[in-house]
Amino acid sequence: MEEEKKRLEEILRFQGIEEAGAKSKKLFLYKGMLEDKRKWACLVSRGLASQYETVVADSVALAGQLENSTKMEVADFGAGGGLLGLVLAIVCPAWNVTLIEASSRKAAFLAEAAGELNLANVEIENARAESLVGKQEFDMVVSRAAGKLKELAPVAFALLKQGGRYVALKAAQVEDEIAEARAENIRGIEVLKAQYPLSHGVAGRASIVVIKKL
């Protein structure tokens, strides 16, 4: 238990996250909640649950590449069990994070987890992202392995303020997806390679795709 907390803390410190000790404890508690409710809400696969530290390292790598101490309105659409959005809310308390999830059970889990973790910067929207267009606007929209960029970017843009960014956590090889997106006239694409402490992976295991709403 203590060793796992230390490994989580190492991930946070590597990315320059402040108060890494306290935040790693919350990440550890969140893991327990995922394990308890995994089957009830179909939160994550058994394989993904066993790779919790790896998944957290990917999400925290995204935070490490962005202005993680700057106040922002952020949305995670297709939030699932919160492995991106809820992790970002824990490590970036300056961000107000809206978790958008169509599944009622998953949304209920997210609300319960946010409450138990005392995350005052989290809001839950039990809805499809498309239904929020015109009702809310965000500085940044994020997603994790939710679909192809050419399909997701237009939805993200509809939720973004002008000049806002859609940030997608993707697999290492994203060249084909980016080519497809550009063929759909989606511009302003930048690709960042996730960085990790040596004990948690190699640089470039995941790609962070940033697309600005021009």
State the DSSP H helix or E strand holding residue 157, giving kind and residue range, or none if neither.
helix 149-159
103 is in an annotated binding site: yes
pLDDT attached to residue 51 = 84
Domains of the chain: 2-212 (3.40.50.150)
78 is in an annotated binding site: yes
83 is in an annotated binding site: yes
* Cβ partners under 8 Å of residue 69, min gap 6: 18, 92, 94
Residue 6 has pLDDT above 80, yes or no: yes
Specify the residue for token string 């500085």.
139
Segment 44-67, tens digit of pLDDT: 666 565 688 989 999 999 999 999
Q: What residue type is 157 in one-letter code?
A: F
- Give the largest Cα separation in the chain, rounded: 49
82 is in an annotated binding site: no
Cα 119-110-55 angle, rounded to 5 deg = 90
Q: Which of 93, 97, 85 is nearest to 17 (CA)?
A: 93
The dihedrals phi and psi of 201, each to the nearest 5 degrees, come to 135, 180
Dist CA 11 CA 92 (whole Å): 14
Q: E-strand spans in the chain? A: 72-77, 95-100, 122-125, 138-144, 160-171, 189-193, 206-212
Segment 146-180, tens digit of pLDDT: 789 999 999 999 999 999 999 999 988 899 999 99
Dist CA 129 CA 151 (whole Å): 13
What are the Cα distances from residue 184, in Å, to 150, 154, 159, 178, 214? 7, 10, 19, 10, 15
129 is in an annotated binding site: yes
pLDDT band, very low/low/confident/very high, at 99 (cuts 50, 70, 90): very high
Q: Which neighbouring-strand residues pair with 141?
A: 75, 166
What are the Cα distances from residue 35, in Å, to 44, 81, 83, 109, 210? 9, 11, 12, 12, 31
